[in-house]
Each structure stands twice: as structure tokens, then as C-alpha cells.
Amino acid sequence: MGREIKIAPSILSADLTNLGDAIRILNDGKADLVHLDVMDGHFVPNITFGPAFAKELKVVSKIPFDTHLMVSHPMQYGPKFAESSDWLTFHIEADDNPQDTIKLFKDLGVKVGISVNPGTPFSAIKEFVPELDLILIMTVEPGFGGQKCMTQHFSKLTEARELVEELGQDTEIMVDGGVTEHNVAEVVKAGATMFVAGSAVFRGARGPVEEIKVLKENALKGLE
């Protein structure tokens, strides 16, 4: 099964005083998704974007919104963010009833993902994979940008890839945390089809459009 590689720049790393322009840059820079990190101050220490703010940003976006719910009550937040999201991902560590959350999100008409933290084994979500559109493997601790990638968790990408291919599914496998032009090929080789990049896109010396181009070029080397 052929793999198409997609990049989802995280706007949390952009200039927060000018996010509208940041999204317009992603439109022009051939990003595949806009990654929106939603934090509630409980599941993770930080607080970021609310649903009303996300709706305002969606107006200027020509590409899908990939919303990562780093929250303690995904069933509570999901319906509010579904209004502006094409993808909704919640954390297995934050949910006692993942089956119900998957159903709710699907009924809302969005694509559904589950994320696993670095300390959580892939086996924690294995039973839910047949119903998922996206598997998100965290290679940093959620809640803060700019962390160094924990490469030891690339093995989870491989586990996910093997299971998805065994099931004959086209479930996307995403990695989030410290992805750069120097390790993105390794990420793809391990099994990823999508990757989040924040600092690498918005804080790189070349500027976001050129950084996206370089990241994609290097990512494709992982398929060689």
C-alpha cells in the first residue's frame, strides 16, 4: 500500500499575535493540515485555544484543521471543536470510555484519532485501531513546544504501521514532537504518514514556506 506523506504545522509555534497571517502562509506553503493544540490546564499544565477562537481561525484556512485535544474531558470538548475541525484526536490517557468518544466524534462528522503519550504503550489503543482514522504517537511530553524528540518511541510507529497494514486499513499514522529536517526521514521510515512540525516550520531560518518544502523533501527520503 503506497504512502502519501503529509505535514501538519502546529500554529502554537507561530507568532501568536498574528495567527491569521500564519495560516495564510500555510495555505501558500503547501501544508496539508493546520495542527491546533488544544490544552485545558488540567490534562496538561498549559492553556491554549478555545472553540470560538478556532472557528475564527478556520475562516482564513484553505486546508483542513487537525485538532489535538490535550484535555481531560474529550467528550465535553469534542462537539465544540468539531464545528471548526476536520480531524479530532483525543488522548487514551484522558478517557475512561474511548469507545463512546470514538462514536460521538464520528457522529459529529469528523475523522477520529487517538493519541498515546511517551509513557503509554501502543497496546493501550490496539483494540480501537479498526475504528480509527488516525493514530498519533507522541515523541515528547504533551503540553509544551520545542522539546527534543524521544526517538526511542519510533518503535510505536512501526507497531502501528504493522497493525494497520495487517488490517488492510488506510489509517494515518502521525508523529508529534521534535520532528525536524534531520529526523523526519527516520520518522517516515519507522511508519509515519503524517508529522506535526511547529518550531521546525515557524522558527526556522528559511521561513515557513521554505521550511515546509525542505521537510517534505527530506520526509520522502524515508520511503526510498
The catalytic residue positions are: 37, 176
Helix residue spans in 36-153 (DSSP H): 51-58, 74-82, 98-107
pLDDT for 145 equals 64
Cell of 150: 524521544
Q: What is the pLDDT of residues 141-191, one digit of tens each?
A: 887 666 788 889 999 999 999 999 999 999 999 999 999 999 999 999 999
Among 193, 138, 141, 204, CA closest to 164: 193
One-character DSSP codes across 10-43: BGGGS-TT-HHHHHHHHHHTT-S-EEEEEEBSSS
Q: What is the pTM of this model?
A: 0.95
Residue-range domain boundaries for the chain: 6-223
Rounded to whole angstroms, the Cα distance separating 84 from 77 reads 12
Torsion of CA 124, 129, 130, 135, to 10 degrees: 170
- Which architecture does CATH list for 6-223? Alpha-Beta Barrel (3.20)
